[in-house]
Structure 1
Amino acid sequence: MAQHYRVIHFIHAMLRLEGLDFIREVYRQFLHRVPSEVEYQHYMKLLAMRQTKQTLMVHVMCSEEAERLYHQPPAGFIHLHDETAASILRRFYPSEPFFFVHSLYNELLCRNPDTQGMQGHLHSLLAGMQKKNLLHGFFTSAECQQLLSLPQIPVQDDWRMVDTGIAAFPSGHRIGNHIGIFLAYPHPLALDGEGIGRFLYRLIEGFLINRPDVHIHIAATDYNYLDAENTFALLKSHFPGRVHITKSNNIESFNTSVPAEVWIVPIVSLELAMFLKKPYIVCLHDLVHHQFKDLYFTIYPEFCHRVDRNGYHILKKAAAIVSNSNYVRTHHAIGVAGMPAEKTHVIRLAPPNNEYQTFSFIDEAQFRMKYQLYLDYLVFPTVLRLHKNIERLIAAFIKFRQSFDGYHSGLRLVFTDQLTNTPKQAEVMQILQHVADEEIRSSIMFIGRIPKSDLPSLYKYALGTIVPTLFEGSCPFPILESLTMGTPVAAANLEVTNEIITDMSAFLAFNPYSIEEIEAAIRSLWTYRHKLLARQQAAISGAMQRSWTDAAHEYYALIQHVAGTN
């Protein structure tokens, strides 16, 4: 494995230089330029006056010019060469405090934080301390200076070959039976309203059903510990003593106190995973911001740059990368991220049969009253992200309702999110403002995110589900969920969907960029809804017969392989 040079290695090398060579290298490393003649003379004069090299280096390293460079967004997803100290600082300097502090410890002290230091530095940053002051403090600390005084600072060749201090497993322990789930979000997140939460719940349940000797260890921060407890409470009660949730803001606590042999990192943006010392598997659901680069980088540049700053390194350090489709494996993991093919794997999702069987259906009249769904409706259960294509779906639905048969259908279109404060709000509102008929305007309903226990009833009482999304990392999950409840679907014709559906015409397949084709699909779904289900279930029978225990079995085999080779 390639050697991992840290910021301190560059600093150590610079301090061994003299005179003009020292000044030139400090400017190259921290400012990516050569000094002017005036700057040369200024710093040479200071050196002649016996100013220490460390003092001059700090002056450049913490200058406003350097900070501007540290805040520059990455040029792309792949970082093949971190050849300067500034290029490494750029990866974490703009980050939130959790990642910034962990990175300072690793880059300047060659270790993860201790709990007391972590809490103290977090408190200082959250209280308003400037990052450059903390960078200065780390550099001038006795521990950093002690490292710099060494003839040579060891270079870490393999990030995983570190003794974590965890006690040995008991005799007869089967390798891979202690599985970590890394959920160290640096901010609050309601997992129950996100697809990632449902994915993890189903996968963990599959692990626990498959093997009675498997233990699941969930790592959470203070921010999302209570949400993790709530999200997985049912699993903890169904499988007593086998689901363990640990809370810490310091990743080293997970390294030393959680007996996970392999971690599952459920999303590539969880950059704190870089500081785990046991091998980890990254679930790369997609890199959607590179699928629609102009759209996402325009609307969410901060998020896109954050993923790009460290996504490559998270994937590079991973022991394995799992995608849910061949498309994402080929185009995103290998294509965009540049990962070696042998490190990438496809493990497909499954319909939520077991999970939905545990929920009690709400009485239809009670359910309709709860969500004010008194009339027939089509549903698109989704979080309103940019690529979900709701603006074209709404425009097509309005055209359908403005037709003779569409108007008399009384049909409603239901979204499971709120339009307010979403990036498509202004565009959708503009579309609605051009609709004179209040009946048609009110037929488009945003009911907000609903509890997962209500989702089966939402599908069951719908006349149909429509999925207009421009892209998904796998066959869109609402297709599997809807068919689980016996409700027919109209779906966009996507490459990932074609991977598992043998006859897309059965799903009234449409071009998601064509409002006319979406309208035609809505009309066909409304007209032929009673005749579609059998043909759709036949066209996707292989995927519908798959279970989450199948998915968990494939993950478990990969976990055993990773644990056995690390």
Structure 2
Amino acid sequence: MLLRVIDYVANPGGGVRFTVEMLRGLHRMYGPQIELVSHGEALQRYASLLSRDRGVRLVDVPPVEAWRSRTLMAGIPGAGPLNLLLGTARFHHAVAGDLLEGADVVWFPWLHRHRIPWARAGRVVATLHDVITLQFPEIAPAWIRRDERGTVRAWLASGARIAITSNATAATLHSMFGTDAERLEVIPLSGSHERPAAPVTRGDLAFKGREYLLAPINITPHKNAEVLLRALGRTGARHPLVLTGSGMDLWPPRSTRARKLTELAEASGFVRDASLFAPGYVDDRAYEQLLDEAWALVMPTLAEGGGSFPVLEAMTAGIPVIASDIPVMREMVERTGGQVLWFDPRDPADLAAKLAELEARYPEYRGRAERQAKTLRLRTWDDVAAGYARLLGLT
């Protein structure tokens, strides 16, 4: 059986990790022939991760046209801003129709930004991770949101089988698009992954050996850094806040949003490299060590698609977690049978109160976290692959 996988985005966050884990699981358990079609930087990203995976053949096929050539006045120097103003720029990748032929089934592990000849969607499975770009207008310009809304709407109206990662996302899609739950297949994710064999030494970090609070968030607005900074500025002397994630290397600020966050941090009482550390994105090995040595992990997010990998990883490692009380996070944590400290993500005072509670009863919460790590009901990537195997017709 030939499974063709198409992804021209290769989202460097959870998207690539999800795809790679799934391809390995599907090949290990069901043994289909797998072609991964991509191009450019996305293909390079996959090649770096799958270079040793003989069960996956990488195929370089560009999308039909790059967005710059699908605009009015394409190729005219300086026309880009005018194309944006006129609303003629395209955010999506157009997939060649013949890529939907010649395979037993075609899977888009990241349907976002992909459009296909919809009449040929009958043998297509696609994964919709979230609609956060549409929920938070400040994340992207209006023309990108319009394009993404059109892409998602077209997928939902097509004959493709659509998988999502949580019931919370199903509710959001019903609210936004009127999508019935029966249209969607909910396949929750796994938070497990192979831990690096040799973690790097982080002896150069000033917070090493201190009781630091780890916040693995990126700079996008829905990760809710503002509430985090407003709530915890005065506690940084006791528990330095460490920000990891794309764009969170705040000094020097490289964007308007980064500049606003640094100003808010200072106004909230944080002192750079004393009570607030912002290394930004770190690789898996460095992150594993940061997690293992953390006093606690805080996740202030306002929205996720299927939950939070960092929260699951902290629970698995026996690290106390303070998490935003939103439906998708409740769904994920309750599925594991675990417990975290919940707070209202719109209320800095509630987060500060939960941190004070954790401080006052830390041995109790730490002991609970370590005990529950041994009893959590954790999904494996084989479990996820089994759900997709049914949808893909591999069983």
Shorter-normalised TM range: 0.7 to 0.9
Shift of 1:276: 9.2
Report the counterpart of residue 387 of structure 2 in structure 1: 554
Report the counterpart of residue 456 of structure 1 in structure 2: 288
Shift of 1:277: 4.3
Seen in structure 2, the aligned counterparts of structure 1 residues 292 and 558 have a Cα distance that, compared at 3 Å, is: same
Task: Pick one of 157, 171, 175 that aligns with 1:335.
Answer: 175
How far, CA to CA, are the matches of 2:322 and 2:235 in structure 1? 15
Shift of 1:274: 4.3
Q: Is the 8 A contact 1:482 1:489 kept in 2?
A: yes
The 3-state SS of whatever aligns with 2:194 is: helix
Report the counterpart of residue 48 of structure 2 in structure 1: 230
Higher strand share: 2
Seen in structure 2, the aligned counterparts of structure 1 residues 331 and 224 have a Cα distance that, compared at 3 Å, is: closer
Seen in structure 2, the aligned counterparts of structure 1 residues 463 and 324 have a Cα distance that, compared at 3 Å, is: same
Shift of 1:227: 1.8
Task: Pick one of 8, 19, 22 that aligns with 1:203.
Answer: 22
Shift of 1:437: 6.9
Seen in structure 2, the aligned counterparts of structure 1 residues 523 and 449 have a Cα distance that, compared at 3 Å, is: same
1:43-96 residue CA offsets vs partner (Å, 9 max, x unmatched)? xxxxxxxxxxxxxxxxxxxxxxxxxxxxxxxxxxxxxxxxxxxxxxxxxxxxxx
Seen in structure 2, the aligned counterparts of structure 1 residues 335 and 268 have a Cα distance that, compared at 3 Å, is: farther
1:304-349 residue CA offsets vs partner (Å, 9 max, x unmatched)? 12202332113322521111111111221x3323334332011001
Residue 360 of structure 1 aligns with an amino acid whose one-letter code is: A
**Aligned positions of 1:129-278 closer than 5 A:** 177-185=1-9, 191=11, 193-211=12-30, 213-234=31-52, 236=53, 240=54, 242-250=55-63, 255=98, 260-274=103-117, 277=120
Q: Is the 8 A contact 2:166 2:328 kept in 1?
A: yes
Task: Pick one of 317, 341, 348 that aligns with 1:515.
Answer: 348
Residue 377 of structure 1 aligns with an amino acid whose one-letter code is: Y
Higher helix share: 1
How far, CA to CA, are the matches of 1:300 and 1:224 in structure 2? 22
How far, CA to CA, are the matches of 1:329 and 1:274 in structure 2? 25
Task: Pick one of 357, 379, 387 that aligns with 2:214.
Answer: 379
Shift of 1:388: 0.5
Seen in structure 2, the aligned counterparts of structure 1 residues 495 and 452 have a Cα distance that, compared at 3 Å, is: same
Q: Is it true that 1:316 corresponds to 2:157 in the alignment?
A: yes
Shift of 1:201: 1.9
Shift of 1:389: 0.6
Report the counterpart of residue 9 of structure 1 in structure 2: none
Q: Which has the higher contact order (CA 8 A, sep 6+)?
A: 2
The 3-state SS of whatever aligns with 1:181 is: strand
The 3-state SS of whatever aligns with 1:362 is: coil
1:125-151 residue CA offsets vs partner (Å, 9 max, x unmatched)? xxxxxxxxxxxxxxxxxxxxxxxxxxx
Normalising to structure 2: TM-score of the pair?
0.79
Q: Is it true that 1:487 corresponds to 2:319 in the alignment?
A: yes
Aligned length: 358
Residue 351 of structure 1 aligns with an amino acid whose one-letter code is: G
Shift of 1:542: 8.1
Q: Is it true that 1:307 corresponds to 2:148 in the alignment?
A: yes
The 3-state SS of whatever aligns with 2:382 is: helix
How far, CA to CA, are the matches of 1:456 and 1:318 in structure 2? 41
Shift of 1:513: 0.8
Seen in structure 2, the aligned counterparts of structure 1 residues 475 and 544 have a Cα distance that, compared at 3 Å, is: farther
How far, CA to CA, are the matches of 2:39 and 2:226 in structure 1? 36
Seen in structure 2, the aligned counterparts of structure 1 residues 543 and 200 have a Cα distance that, compared at 3 Å, is: farther
How far, CA to CA, are the matches of 2:158 and 2:370 in structure 1? 40
Shift of 1:196: 0.7
**Aligned positions of 1:340-355 closer than 5 A:** 340-352=180-192, 354-355=193-194
**Aligned positions of 1:10-25 closer than 5 A:** none
Query: Considering only CA atoms, is the larger Rg found in Structure 1 or Structure 2?
Result: 1
How far, CA to CA, are the matches of 1:282 and 1:546 in structure 2? 21
Q: Is the 8 A contact 2:213 2:239 kept in 1?
A: no
Shift of 1:421: 3.9
Normalising to structure 1: TM-score of the pair?
0.57
**Alignment root-mean-square deviation, CA:** 3.1
1:145-189 residue CA offsets vs partner (Å, 9 max, x unmatched)? xxxxxxxxxxxxxxxxxxxxxxxxxxxxxxxx432221124xxx6
Task: Pick one of 110, 125, 131 that aligns with 1:281.
Answer: 125
**Aligned positions of 1:112-127 closer than 5 A:** none
Q: Is the 8 A contact 1:377 1:411 kept in 2?
A: yes
Seen in structure 2, the aligned counterparts of structure 1 residues 291 and 478 have a Cα distance that, compared at 3 Å, is: same
The 3-state SS of whatever aligns with 2:280 is: coil
The 3-state SS of whatever aligns with 1:224 is: helix
Which blocks of at least 5 consecutive residues in structure 1 are unaligned? Answer: 1-176, 402-406
How far, CA to CA, are the matches of 1:505 and 1:483 in structure 2? 8
Seen in structure 2, the aligned counterparts of structure 1 residues 551 and 437 have a Cα distance that, compared at 3 Å, is: closer
Q: Is the 8 A contact 2:7 2:110 kept in 1?
A: no
Report the counterpart of residue 446 of structure 1 in structure 2: 278
1:387-417 residue CA offsets vs partner (Å, 9 max, x unmatched)? 101111012110323xxxxx3x253333223
How far, CA to CA, are the matches of 2:337 and 2:355 in structure 1? 15
Shift of 1:286: 1.3
Shift of 1:476: 1.9
Q: Is the 8 A contact 1:283 1:322 kept in 2?
A: yes
Task: Pick one of 412, 415, 418 that aligns with 2:244.
Answer: 415
Report the counterpart of residue 72 of structure 2 in structure 1: none
Shift of 1:530: 3.8
The 3-state SS of whatever aligns with 1:509 is: strand
How far, CA to CA, are the matches of 1:306 and 1:449 in structure 2? 28
How far, CA to CA, are the matches of 1:537 and 1:319 in structure 2? 43
1:343-384 residue CA offsets vs partner (Å, 9 max, x unmatched)? 2011001121x422xx11425xx2242x55423322122322
How far, CA to CA, are the matches of 2:181 and 2:342 in structure 1? 31
